[in-house]
Amino acid sequence: MTTIRDVAKLADVSVATVSRVLNQTGNVSPKTLQRVEAAISQLNYQPNDVARSLFKGRSKMIALFVPDIMNPFFPELARAAEDVASKHGYTFVLCNTDGDGEKELTYLKALKQKSVDGIIIVSSTLSKDAMAHLDLPIIALDRKIGTNIAAVTVNNRKAAQQAVTHLQEVGCKRIAHIRGPQGASNAEDRMAGYIDIVGQTDWFNPSFICEGDYTADHAYKAALDLLQQHPEIDGIFAANDLMGVGVLKAAAALGKKVPDELAVIGFDGIALGEVTIPTLSTMAQPTYDIGARAAEMLIEHIDTYDLNRFVEPVEYEVKLIKRQSTERRTNDDK
Ligand code: RIB
């Protein structure tokens, strides 16, 4: 098999020069370029990725960490990142972290050893300090990790305000919130948006905020308890759609009519919300777009890698989708 050394020998240049020609980096005189190209063509040399990675310390591989691909929000995100990666000639690795900090660190170390070129991370547990020594291009996606790591997110706080305002507009007078996991920046922002609106009302009650973990099961149990303790609650803003589905199930179990007795809105815009009975109103994220943007940013970051370069964060808007679970009540005094 022809190697880069054979090309260098035939062209009478160094291996580094051949590499500069192949990677189009650095200065090579037109005469040298011609000699190297002639040698490549004469030997029919095809640089392989392993050789490229050995020489440059690069693998043409990027990774995406998500908490759990079983959550229907993440496949679209992953698909987008993979599409962009393959368009740029990168292979793509997906890691499910279960939101477990230890697992995240183990994956980070293993990927670093395999010379991964960069990582897109959805995490609520990793700290920027844990990643500082990695010396790798990183983009945070969906959830922020400190302020030094560039993030692609949506405007969670504003979207939460819109969701709660929508519940008020359809006649809800006592609105509760099932929040996302502690430590997840988007869960904190969504809760802050809820408080921005209901914190100004005379009925605001901190016990209307329930712990949640972005799963339907947990939200189902939380909503059962909440609605039994506070039957006056007539609207719930769930911090994601899966939890919104859990709330619909709890309402059905308690015989509460949605939306007449209880209006429900989620967050994400997953397809599942279109087939529940009733269908679920939601704050829809531009999921494919944020996944694609994160991959574009990571690849650009890899190409121009400089630890000290500040990469601008990007924030997308979210769109209110009104469905049956918040259809205007016939009697606003309920
Ligand atoms: O449903 C998964 C949730 O986790 C989404 O709301 C998304 O924003 C992610 O953080």
pLDDT tens-digit series, residues 280-301? 999 999 999 999 999 999 999 8
214 lines ligand 1 (CB under 6 A): yes
Is residue 145 assigned to a domain? yes
324 and 260 assigned to the same domain: yes
126 and 98 assigned to the same domain: yes
Ligand 1 nearest atom to the CA of residue 143, by list position: 10
Distance CA 312, CA 320 (A): 26
Is residue 275 assigned to a domain? yes
Ligand 1 nearest atom to the CA of residue 239, by list position: 6
Q: Is it the case that residue 96 has pLDDT exceeding 60?
A: yes
Three-class DSSP category at 52: helix
Q: What percentage of the chain has pLDDT greater than the value 70?
A: 92
Q: What percentage of the chain has pLDDT greater than the value 90?
A: 71
20 and 139 assigned to the same domain: no
Ligand 1 nearest atom to the CA of residue 285, by list position: 8
> For residue 208, what are its two tokens?
């209307």
Three-class DSSP category at 118: strand
Q: Tell me the sheet residues that pair with 263.
A: 235
- On average, the pLDDT of the chain sits at 91
- Only one residue has tokens 């959805």, namely 122
Instruction: Please report the pLDDT score of residue 304 as a whole number.
Output: 79
Residues in CB range of 148: below 8 A, 6 or more apart: 128
Phi, then psi, of 186 in degrees rounded to 5: -70, -30
DSSP 131-150: HHTT---EEEESS--TTTS-
258 and 198 assigned to the same domain: yes
Q: Is it the case that residue 279 has pLDDT exceeding 90?
A: yes
180 and 328 assigned to the same domain: yes
> For residue 324, what are its two tokens?
């049956």
Most confident segment among 17-31, 68-82, 124-138, 309-323: 68-82
For residue 291, report the distance from its CA to the centre of ligand 1, in Å: 12
Q: Is it the case that residue 117 has pLDDT exceeding 60?
A: yes
| Ligand 1, atom 8: closest residue by C-alpha | 142
Instruction: Please report the pLDDT score of residue 57 as a whole number.
Output: 63
| Ligand 1, atom 9: closest residue by C-alpha | 142
Is residue 202 assigned to a domain? yes
268 lines ligand 1 (CB under 6 A): yes
Q: Specify burial of residue 94 (Cβ count, 10 A radius: 0-12, 13-18, 19+).
A: middle
Q: How many structural domains compose the chain?
A: 3
Is residue 52 assigned to a domain? no
Is residue 43 assigned to a domain? yes
Instruction: Please report the pLDDT score of residue 333 as a whole number.
Output: 45
17 and 104 assigned to the same domain: no
3-state secondary structure 241-266: HHHHHHHHHHHHHCCCCCCCCCEEEE
pTM equals 0.82
Is residue 56 assigned to a domain? no
Which residue segment(s) compose the domain that 275 sits in? 156-285+320-333
234 and 276 assigned to the same domain: yes
* Strand ranges inside the chain, DSSP E: 61-66, 91-96, 118-121, 138-141, 151-154, 175-178, 209-210, 235-238, 263-268, 281-284, 314-316, 319-321
> For residue 31, what are its two tokens?
């005469």
Distance CA 260, CA 235 (A): 10
Is residue 138 assigned to a domain? yes
Three-class DSSP category at 122: coil
143 and 170 assigned to the same domain: no
Closest by Cα among 159, 161, 158 to 199: 161
201 and 160 assigned to the same domain: yes
Q: Specify burial of residue 242 (Cβ count, 10 A radius: 0-12, 13-18, 19+).
A: buried
265 and 193 assigned to the same domain: yes
Instruction: Please report the pLDDT score of residue 275 as a whole number.
Output: 97
Phi, then psi, of 54 in degrees rounded to 5: -65, -40
205 and 324 assigned to the same domain: yes
240 lines ligand 1 (CB under 6 A): yes
Do the strands 319-321 and 118-121 form a parallel or antiparallel pair, or are they unpaired?
unpaired
123 lines ligand 1 (CB under 6 A): no
Q: Is it the case that residue 223 has pLDDT exceeding 90?
A: yes
For residue 112, report the distance from its CA to the centre of ligand 1, in Å: 26
Instruction: Please report the pLDDT score of residue 54 as a whole number.
Output: 54
Pocket test for ligand 1, best of 145, 177, 213, 214 (most atoms within 8 A of CB): 214
Q: Specify burial of residue 181 (Cβ count, 10 A radius: 0-12, 13-18, 19+).
A: buried
For residue 233, report the distance from its CA to the centre of ligand 1, in Å: 25
Is residue 222 assigned to a domain? yes
Lowest mean pLDDT among 22-26, 101-105, 212-216, 312-316: 22-26
Q: Is it the case that residue 228 has pLDDT exceeding 70?
A: yes
For the segment 57-72, the average pLDDT, to the nearest whole number, is 92
Which CATH number covers residue 72?
3.40.50.2300
Which CATH number covers residue 34?
1.10.260.40
Pocket test for ligand 1, best of 213, 267, 270 (most atoms within 8 A of CB): 267
70 and 88 assigned to the same domain: yes
267 lines ligand 1 (CB under 6 A): yes
* Cα three-residue angle 196-197-202, rounded to 5 degrees: 110
For residue 138, report the distance from its CA to the centre of ligand 1, in Å: 19
